[in-house]
Amino acid sequence: TNVRHRFEYLVVLFFIFFLKNLSAKSIFRLGRLLGNLSYSLATKRRRIALINLNIAFGNKKSNKEKKKIIKNSFIQVALSTLQSLWILKHPRRVKQLIEGDPSGIDLVKKCLLRRKGIFFLTAHYGNWEIMGIDHGYRGMCKLHSIIRRLDNP
C-alpha cells in the first residue's frame, strides 16, 4: 500500500495546485461532477451504503429514496473534499462558502455565558471541516473534534 499512499498523495497535490485559481462556483460544479462520477464508478461502496440504509430504514424508504440519499452523499463527500483543498492556502475563502450566520449561534453564545462548556453530538452532515474553521474565525470558543486516524499517513 506504500505505492498507493504515494499515488494518493500526488493526486491530492495535483488537486491543491489545480483548484487554487478556481472560483467557489467552479468548485461547487466540479464537486457535483466528481460526486456523480464516483457514484457511478464506486459500485462496492454503493452496495455497502445500500446495505447500511436497508438496516437503518428497512421498508420506511423506497429503493429510489435510498439511492438518492447515497448519490447525494457521494456528491457531498466530493464537494467537502474539494472545498477543504480549495481553502487550504487561502483560509479567508471560508466566507465565500457560508451564506449568512448559521442558525443556532445565539443559543451557543447563551450557553457559553454560563461558562460550563458545550458538548455537540450531531450527525456528520455537510462540511464539518469548513464549519470548524468558520467557528475559529468567529472567535467564540475552542472547538475540538474526534476523528479516526487516516489509513494513508
Strand positions, DSSP E, 43-108: none
Q: Cα separation of 132 and 141, whole Å?
A: 11
pLDDT band at 153 (very low <50, low <70, confident <90, very high): low
CB burial class (10 A; 0-12, 13-18, 19+) of residue 106?
A: exposed
Give the global pTM. Answer: 0.78
CA–CA distances in Å: residue 90 to residues 72, 83, 108, 144: 27, 11, 27, 22
Q: Are 80 and 113 a contacting pair, CB within 8 Å? A: no
Q: Cα separation of 23 and 27, whole Å?
A: 6
pLDDT digit string (tens) for 70-95? 999 999 999 999 998 998 878 788 88
Q: Cα separation of 38 and 58, whole Å?
A: 25
Cell triple for 49: 451504503
Q: Contacts from 67-71 at CB under 8 Å and sequence distance 24+?
A: 70/39, 70/46, 71/35, 71/36, 71/39
pLDDT digit string (tens) for 1-52? 789 889 989 998 998 889 989 999 999 999 999 999 999 999 999 999 999 9
Q: Identify the pLDDT of residue 137.
A: 80
